[in-house]
Amino acid sequence: MIFAIVIVITIISLFGCVCIKKPAVRIGLGIIAVLGLMLAVLIGSVTYTTKYRVNSVDSSTSQDGKYELLFQQIGEPDWPFGYTHARLVLKDELGTIAKYSFDVRNDGASVHSDSWQVIWKEDSVEVVISGKEQNDEQYILYFDGKTDSSF
């Protein structure tokens, strides 16, 4: 919401700079517009980093080398001691087969390579996710694109 307000103020200031002829007012509106743009970039980058940036945590490849499983963290953990948002991405040589998003209750800490165990099967891959404040959770990603979970 703040981001939208900053953008509106910046656009109005830019429009005012073009339409108003008094130099002092134009300079003032220009300064407001520049500061608004800088604030919008700052808010946008912080929002992207904390909510949307994909961080690769670890990966595992099947024994035959046909499939790769990626363990990724999405954004930063919820503040102060909230969930960590993560996902599993199963790929083959043609592209992505399946994605499975989930939350890890890890006392506000990021996930790391010790947070998962991978077991490759004939037609699927089983993953066990561990967190400090949760029981181990098992996720199954099948090579045909189906997913399953058990807690």
81: pLDDT confidence band, cut at 50, 70 and 90?
A: confident
Tell me the per-residue pLDDT of 133-147, one tens digit each, with 9 for 90 and over. Answer: 899 999 999 999 999
Tell me the mean pLDDT in the region 68-92: 94
Q: Which residue has the higher pLDDT, 115 or 9?
A: 115
pLDDT beyond 90 at 16:
no
Q: Of 52, 68, 84, which residue sits at a domain end?
A: 52
The domain tally of the chain equals: 2
Where in the sequence is the domain holding 89, given as residue range(s)? 54-150
Tell me the per-residue pLDDT of 27-44, one tens digit each, with 9 for 90 and over. Answer: 888 888 889 889 989 999
pLDDT of residue 85: 95
For residue 101, what are the CA distances in angstroms to 31, 36, 133, 136? Answer: 43, 35, 18, 16
Tell me the per-residue pLDDT of 99-114, one tens digit each, with 9 for 90 and over. Answer: 999 999 988 899 999 9
131 shares a domain with 60: yes
64 shares a domain with 42: no
Look up the CATH number of the domain holding residue 79: 2.40.128
Tell me the mean pLDDT in the region 54-68: 95
17 shares a domain with 65: no
pLDDT beyond 90 at 61:
yes
pLDDT of residue 82: 87
142 shares a domain with 70: yes
Counting every residue written for the chain, the total comes to 151
Half-sphere exposure of 138 (CA within 13 A, CB side): 8
pLDDT of residue 33: 86
Those residues whose C-beta lies under 8 Å from the C-beta of residue 82, and which sit 6 or more positions away, are 108
Beta strands in 32-80 (DSSP E): 54-61, 68-74
